[in-house]
Amino acid sequence: MPAHLPDSEHPRIVIIGAGFGGLKLARSLARKPYQVVLLDKNNFHQFQPLFYQVATSGIAPSAIAFPVRKIFHRIPNVHFRMAEVKEVKTDEKQIVTDVGSIEYDFLVIATGADTNYFGNAQIEQNALPMKSVQESLALRNKVIEQIENALISNSAEERKERMTLVVVGGGPTGVEVSGALAEMKRFVLPKDYPELDFEEMDIHLLEASPQLLNGMSEQSSTAARKFLEGMSVKVETGAMVESYDGHTVKVKGGKEISSSTLIWAAGIRGNRLNGIPSDLYKGNGRLEVDDQLKVKGLKDVFAIGDISYMPDEAFPKGHPQVAQVAIQQGVWLAQALTSKGKPMKGFRYKDLGSMATIGRSRAVVDLPIFHFRGFFAWLFWLFVHLMNILGVKNRFFIFVDWMWYYIKFDQNLRLVIRTKDKSE
């Protein structure tokens, strides 16, 4: 069954994934001599760096999700299909999706990454990930529901378990969600639940490596830990979580923590596609590419963003799986595809810096030439993220939400939203 795409005299480029890399590539190819087909299982682009703020009631999910079709209004050579890819047939240059089959001249895999549980099925079953708007909302529901249930607990032990939150993973996501939860505990939840004593509420941040924010400077790692501990987050490094059954977190070495909520932010793994030979996927589920971003072993197939793996002298383990890499690769690949056969220097990632926020007025920023932290780092973090959000309306609403929280120490989105059972 064909996917009902219009005929075109130009070569067809199919991009799988409307994340940072795929979207940037499609936008950069607008009105170029290609027919561009962008595929994604959602009809919206998600701004992943702010998932944790949705999960902690800071901003509305609609503020960080932007309709893909709206981006390409009046751009006739870009076509979007909300579709799930079932199989890639590289020998036939064909993609099989749930809305039909699509032929391609060039294929760009920009499928991003999902949560990595490192093969631990029990943790996968019971922990809460945060790699999509839907998962962020599920986490928001769970946190609020557990506080509601703490009100009606039959014992102090049960109440303590429901009021204990465990975050696994000390990267930017883990640090940021821990800080946001700590501020909810201090400033927001006591007003909603005056019957509860929030001195009983514990927030644990567990990181398996010796320090937080691996990949950032030692100064930023130390500052982040100091900020979090000053907010009463119980930070433990060298703490590898071995199991979680929904009630007890077991840490290597024998320590146990009773908790009904475990937030998993400990790693990511590339989203694989059926039909791509499994031996082409390297460690962490990434496709190895050359400096032209071509997947090694496949013809006319490229990979960009979190799914791509390109080790070089500066990054012997491959580029960091962050938005800026995907964006730069999208821009470079568009230039390469429209260079009219002129040779181009291979892709080289320009590291623009890293940052993480730890609650209100606290952040750490590493730029190529210097590092800073505290209030001005937080302002810098706000500005960078605000400018990267798609849509003036989205930026306005996020800015209003941030300023309201800064002034009032309150959040307006503490809603438990469930899907209705058809049997009701």
Task: List residues with catalytic annotation.
Answer: 176
What b/e readout covers 372-396, taking b as 16+ CB neighbours within 10 angstroms?
Answer: bbeeebbebbbeebeeebbbeebbe
Kindly tell me the sign of the dihedral angle through the C-alpha atoms of 135, 137, 140, 141: negative
Angle, alpha carbons 16-90-315 (nearest 5°): 60
What are residue 234's DSSP bridge partners? 204
Residues 6 or more apart in contact with residue 388 via CB below 8 angstroms: 47, 49, 323
Contact between 310 and 293 (Cβ < 8 Å): yes
